[in-house]
Every structure is written in C-alpha cells, then in structure tokens.
C-alpha cells in the first residue's frame, strides 16, 4: 500500500506541477484579453449614441396630469403641489364658489379626504391642445369612493388649463363638472299587481 501511495503521489505531483504551469500561462493571457477589452470603444458611448428626440408637449402634459392625479388619489399634497401653480383656481362639480389659491385648495382637499376612503379615479377620452406656453387638457372621469360610510360613484368632465413655467407644465385652472352621481339605495319594496276594480 505504501508503494501505491508513493507512486500515486509521484504521478499526482507531476499532475499538480503541470496544472500550475498551465494556470500560470493562462492568467497572463486572460489579463491580456481583459486589457484588450478595455481598449475597445464602448458601444454605448456618447459619440455613437443617437440624440434623444424631444418629447412633444402634449405627451409631457398627459404625463403631468397622470402623475398629479396619482398623487391626488394617494393624498400626497407636497407632490401634488409640484404640478399646481400657487395661484391655482379650482371649480368643483358642486354648487360652491371657486377655490382660489393653493393654500385654500389644500384646506378643501383635506376636508374632503377626511370623509373619503378608498377613492379611485379613471380617466378616458383625453384630449390636449397646446398653444405656445399655454395648454388645456380635457377628459372624462369615473370616480368611486366611500364617503361617510356610503359607496358613491361620480362621472363627469374635467378641463385643466396649464402654463409652462421654465421646463415644466403646471395646472393653473382645474374645472370639473359632475354629470351623474350614483349612490346605493335599498331595494324598493315589491309592487303588488293591481287587482281589477282597484286604482293603480
């Protein structure tokens, strides 16, 4: 057995030495390949990259409105303010005077959120018109929420007027009209059919 171990170790030692020799030769070759790769120009370098096309204002406005409504649904006032002018004018779907100024709007918004839970708004039939540094966007909306413990649905139209301030669009007028409101009611009692000779 001792002889077998010595023969194996002798052969194994030669194998280990050969492996180390091959490894020593491979490391500089791999390093050279990596060095060559570093010298190759990056395919994503700015010299070869195509310039980005400017995004049309109508798309920027649509994204602005979408982000504003997202924060509106979340109740994130600070993020909402990024999309609204300080002298914002809001005309709601209720029969009430317009709300003038961001601070007054925040008070009304917080009062509304105090009685509303689970609000969700979808918008459709969106149309935007840009005229220089002014624009308007209009859309139909569907809004469902729980208000003071009752589920309500609102459908209507909103028109936003926006002004370009620097490189961003901000809402200066928000006008909404409610077309219909649906509140769940208890089912009506069944009506008995009229009997002959009885008034309807």
Classify residue 42: in a domain, yes or no: no
Classify residue 108: in a domain, yes or no: yes
Does 196 score more than 80 pLDDT?
no
Q: For the chain, give the secondary structure using H, E and C.
A: CHHHHHHHHHHHHHHHHHHHHHHHHHHHHHHHHHHHHHHCCCCCCCCCCCCCCCCCHHHHHHHHHHHHHHHHHHCCHHHHHCCEEEEEEEECCCCCCCEECHHHHHHHHHHHHHHEEEEEEEEEEEEEEEECCEEEEEEEEEEEEEECCEEEEEEEEEEEEEEEECCEEEEEEEEEEEEEEECCCCCCCCCCCCCCCCCC
Q: How many domains does the chain have?
A: 1
Classify residue 36: in a domain, yes or no: no
Q: For 95-132, give the secondary structure using H, E and C.
A: CCCCEECHHHHHHHHHHHHHHEEEEEEEEEEEEEEEEC
Q: What are phi and psi of 63, to 5 degrees?
A: -65, -40
Classify residue 4: in a domain, yes or no: no
Classify residue 14: in a domain, yes or no: no
pLDDT given at position 148: 87
Classify residue 21: in a domain, yes or no: no
**Distance from C-alpha of 173 to C-alpha of 64, rounded to nearest angstrom:** 14
Q: How many CB atoms lie within 10 A of CB 44?
A: 7
pLDDT given at position 34: 47
CATH of the domain at 157: 3.10.450.50
Query: Above pLDDT 70, what percent of the chain?
Result: 65
Does 3 score more than 50 pLDDT?
no
pLDDT given at position 135: 98
How does pLDDT run across 103-154, given as a tens digit for each residue? 999 999 999 999 998 889 999 999 999 999 999 999 999 999 999 889 999 9
What domain range includes position 150? 57-182
Question: Which of 3-7, 12-16, 124-128 is the most confident on average?
Answer: 124-128
- pLDDT band at residue 26 using 50, 70 and 90 as cut-offs: very low
Does 24 score more than 50 pLDDT?
no
pLDDT given at position 48: 61
Are 68 and 171 in contact by the 8 Å Cβ rule? The answer is yes
Give residue 164's Cα distance to chain centre: 21
Give residue 75's Cα distance to chain centre: 14
Classify residue 70: in a domain, yes or no: yes
**Average confidence score pLDDT of the chain:** 77
């Amino acid at each position: 057995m001792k002889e077998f171990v010595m023969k194996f170790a002798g052969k194994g030692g030669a194998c280990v030495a050969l492996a180390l020799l091959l490894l020593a030769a491979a490391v500089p070759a791999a390093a050279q390949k990596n060095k060559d790769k570093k010298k190759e120009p990056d395919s994503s370098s700015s010299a070869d990259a195509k310039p980005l096309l400017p995004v049309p204002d109508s798309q920027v406005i649509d994204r602005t409105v979408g982000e504003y409504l997202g924060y509106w649904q979340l109740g994130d006032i600070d993020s909402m303010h990024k999309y609204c002018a300080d002298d914002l004018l809001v005309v709601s779907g209720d029969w009430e005077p317009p709300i003038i100024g961001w601070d007054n709007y925040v008070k009304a918004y917080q009062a509304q959120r105090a009685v509303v839970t689970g609000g969700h708004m979808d918008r459709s039939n969106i149309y935007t018109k840009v005229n220089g540094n002014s624009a308007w966007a209009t859309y139909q909306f569907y809004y469902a929420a729980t208000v003071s413990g009752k589920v309500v649905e609102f459908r209507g139209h909103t028109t936003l007027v926006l002004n370009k301030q620097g490189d961003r669009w901000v809402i200066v007028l928000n006008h909404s009209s409610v077309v219909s409101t649906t509140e769940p009611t208890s089912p009506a009692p069944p009506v008995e059919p009229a009997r002959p000779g009885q008034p309807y």
